[in-house]
């Protein structure tokens, strides 16, 4: 029997997933509401697949939790289940080692099949995700480092460099340097232009 750890910050979602998987003969051995608990429980329980949400409020997100889970010896497979399908989210999850990436509007039978396939070591991607990855490979787009993306997210909130520096524990000079690199990578000549271009490329969510 395939054994699963559910990770989602919404209790109603976890309840629905537990009912669906249990009815399909999949054992849900534990549940976590955040990334920290996901890492801990994945180490405590013998599970085949961690069904991981991507965004779970403050703290460790699904990508960081995936990296931590997979860093352990004999780690289970991690299958991302999320509502987010931006290029940046998909690429970060794949680079972290996730075995699959599904959206929460997937048909129930597809989700059950994906869990079994992930447990067997197969890669499972929602059709729209696979299409986007292929398009990305055919037409490479600029990518931002994690720190550059953090700075740009703060800029998108309308914060000046001084506040961005304080929020991210950086110097203002470092913030300016990151922004110069962001402008160069995105072909932008202003903060507004960089944010708009990043959203167009799927690097930032609205």
Split at pLDDT 50, 70, 90, the class of 126 is confident
| Look-up of token digits 């920290």 | 36
Model pLDDT for residues 21-62, shown as the tens digit of each residue: 999 999 999 999 999 999 999 999 999 999 999 988 778 889
Architecture of the 146-200 domain:
Orthogonal Bundle (1.10)
pLDDT at residue number 57? 77
The residues with which 81 forms a beta bridge, in sequence order, are 102
The residues with which 78 forms a beta bridge, in sequence order, are 50
Model pLDDT for residues 193-202, shown as the tens digit of each residue: 999 989 888 7
pLDDT at residue number 177? 94
Q: How far apart are CA 74 and CA 6, in angstroms?
A: 18
Q: Name the residue ranges covered by the structural domains of the chain.
A: 3-138, 146-200
Model pLDDT for residues 69-122, shown as the tens digit of each residue: 999 989 999 999 998 777 777 878 888 899 999 999 899 999 999 999 999 999
pLDDT of residue 18 exceeding 90 = yes
pLDDT of residue 206 exceeding 70 = no
pLDDT at residue number 137? 64
pLDDT at residue number 71? 92
Domain boundaries 3-138, corresponding CATH code: 3.40.50.2300
Model pLDDT for residues 115-124, shown as the tens digit of each residue: 999 999 998 9
Pairing state between β 49-52 and 3-7:
parallel
pLDDT at residue number 96? 87
Task: Kindly report the average pLDDT of the chain as a whole number.
Answer: 90
pLDDT at residue number 200? 82
Model pLDDT for residues 143-165, shown as the tens digit of each residue: 888 899 999 999 999 999 999 99
Tell me which residue of 138, 101, 135 sits closest to 117, measured CA to CA: 101
pLDDT of residue 139 exceeding 70 = no
pLDDT of residue 205 exceeding 80 = no
pLDDT at residue number 136? 65
Tell me which residue of 116, 108, 86 sits closest to 100, measured CA to CA: 116
| Look-up of token digits 């051995």 | 29
pLDDT at residue number 7? 97
Structure tokens that stand for 183 in this block: 């402008």
Tell me which residue of 97, 87, 106 sits closest to 149, measured CA to CA: 87
């Amino acid at each position: 029997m395939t054994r699963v750890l559910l990770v989602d910050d919404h209790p109603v979602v976890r309840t629905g997933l537990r009912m669906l998987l249990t009815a399909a003969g999949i054992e849900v051995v534990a549940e976590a509401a955040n990334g920290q608990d996901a890492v801990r429980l994945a180490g405590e329980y013998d599970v085949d697949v961690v069904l991981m949400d991507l965004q779970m409020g403050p703290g460790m997100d699904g990508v960081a939790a995936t990296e931590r889970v997979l860093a352990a010896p004999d780690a289970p497979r991690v299958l991302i289940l999320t509502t987010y399908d931006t290029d940046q989210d998909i690429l970060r999850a794949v680079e972290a080692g996730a075995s699959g990436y599904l959206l929460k509007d997937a048909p129930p039978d597809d989700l059950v099949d994906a869990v079994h396939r992930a447990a067997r070591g197969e890669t499972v991607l929602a059709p729209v995700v696979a299409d986007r990855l292929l398009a990305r490979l055919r037409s490479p787009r600029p990518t931002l480092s994690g720190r550059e993306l953090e700075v740009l997210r703060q800029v998108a909130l309308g914060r000046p460099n001084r506040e961005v520096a304080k929020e991210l524990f950086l110097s203002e000079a470092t913030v300016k340097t990151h922004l110069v690199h962001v402008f160069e990578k995105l072909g932008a000549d202003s903060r507004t232009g960089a944010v708009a271009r990043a959203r167009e490329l799927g690097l930032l969510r609205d």
